[in-house]
Structure 1
């Protein structure tokens, strides 16, 4: 399969929406149930964008916290995507495992980015035609997507996950490997109360009626 056209494999890392276990940085600005509901909404949004970019059989939901959660069963049954349980280990080990399960180039996304679009996903895939690694850096210093032509554990070694140093350290790791990096866009995640407000503002703007075209 060429990296410049056609369907592409996509792994989505997804936690079960368990109150008190997801989106904990939004508590106490909202209660645990509301934070879990928002997490579920973001996951559904991510999958919706993915299904517009690549066929369902190319998408794998890598689950955590509760592999048998009813939400995962619903999404798999409704859309025909694959489901696999994330292994033990830190985030880097789990991402490497998901990438290694793909035969050839592939993309991995989380479920926290409300500005992810089918166009952006396709752009990231197309970038692997000339780059060894593709990332969507996030404003908080991390990244919302990473893709590579091949799985390489060193890509995820020595990264301070959950900090604002993730993207900078990843760039250093890619440079050490002698690989080429592409970053088609800067994005942002929903992690803090102000991110929720930003998302709500952007949704309101998107819903506002537009005047007639000139």
Structure 2
């Protein structure tokens, strides 16, 4: 476990991620990409996400990881590394929130276009005033961000994951609990080759864009 870092705000930032091992990550990218190329794209997405996370004014930065950390983990950004819990994605997210004290914001590794400005509304000094939850919907019907002023695992546990209704079900769960919910912009996840192309175009200066361009060259050279 790396040493925990501190920022300037009250929020714990959770990044839930999977070690970018060929054949275990981004399998929907194969084809057209090989498992090795898909893993390199996943690693680049994770790197860009963690770079953004390192720049945010938060109290704690926690990488909730399936697998082992690698060279893509910033060494001087104060990330705590904790293992993901067993079970489905809902159980793993619930367990991540259970380890938090005070406001917590969870993001995934699938939105390398994430930049600090997108999360600024949450992390301003009044980001949690009159707000119980922040919700970032994904274009595929899921969600890319979930923030809870008072983390309660039961707000996530049992929500069906990886469906076109996941985001709607999760947001409805928050509303049914009587929470005041504020929304973040819709973002696209890296799931398919089309997603990867659109996201690379949207973040042309990041490592993900470079990895995508290299993968495209390799595919074209076959």
Summarize the Cα distance change of 1:54–1:125 in structure 2 as closer, same or farther, 3 Å threshold.
Answer: closer
Unaligned runs of 5+ in 1: 208-214
* Matches of 2:175 and 2:22, distance apart in 1: 40
Answer yes or no: is the 8 Å Cα contact 2:139–2:186 preserved in 1: yes
Is residue 116 from structure 1 mapped to residue 118 from structure 2 by the alignment?
Answer: no
Q: Could you say which residue in structure 1 is the equivalent of 2:132?
A: 132
Spell out, residue by residue over 1:101-149, the C-alpha distance to the aligned partner (whole angstroms, 9 max, x if none): 1111111110001221112223223442221110111111111010101
Kindly report the root-mean-square deviation, in angstroms, between the aligned alpha carbons of the 2 structures.
2.2
Summarize the Cα distance change of 1:185–1:101 in structure 2 as closer, same or farther, 3 Å threshold.
Answer: same
Summarize the Cα distance change of 1:80–1:25 in structure 2 as closer, same or farther, 3 Å threshold.
Answer: same
Spell out, residue by residue over 1:144-183, the C-alpha distance to the aligned partner (whole angstroms, 9 max, x if none): 0101011223311332201110111112211211111110
TM-score normalised per structure 2: 0.81
**Greater helix fraction, Structure 1 or Structure 2:** 1
SS for the counterpart of 1:182 is strand
Is residue 157 from structure 1 mapped to residue 157 from structure 2 by the alignment?
Answer: yes
* Matches of 1:81 and 1:157, distance apart in 2: 25
* Matches of 1:90 and 1:38, distance apart in 2: 24
Q: List, as ranges, runs of 4+ consecutive aligned residues in structure 1 with deviation greater than 6 Å.
A: none
Spell out, residue by residue over 1:49-80, the C-alpha distance to the aligned partner (whole angstroms, 9 max, x if none): 1111136x71111110x23x434xx6263433
Give how far 1:28 is off: 1.1
Summarize the Cα distance change of 1:203–1:156 in structure 2 as closer, same or farther, 3 Å threshold.
Answer: closer
Please point out which of 1, 17, 20 is paired with 2:20: 17
Answer yes or no: is the 8 Å Cα contact 2:10–2:102 preserved in 1: no
SS for the counterpart of 1:84 is strand
* Matches of 1:118 and 1:133, distance apart in 2: 18
Unaligned runs of 5+ in 2: 1-7, 210-222
Please point out which of 11, 28, 32 is paired with 1:29: 32
Q: Could you say which residue in structure 1 is the equivalent of 2:178?
A: 178
Give how far 1:7 is off: 5.4
* Matches of 2:10 and 2:158, distance apart in 1: 32
* Matches of 1:8 and 1:153, distance apart in 2: 17
TM-score normalised per structure 1: 0.84
Number of residue pairs the alignment of both structures matches: 198
Give how far 1:202 is off: 2.6
Spell out, residue by residue over 1:7-65, the C-alpha distance to the aligned partner (whole angstroms, 9 max, x if none): 5310111101110100000001100000000000000101111111136x71111110x
SS for the counterpart of 2:55 is helix
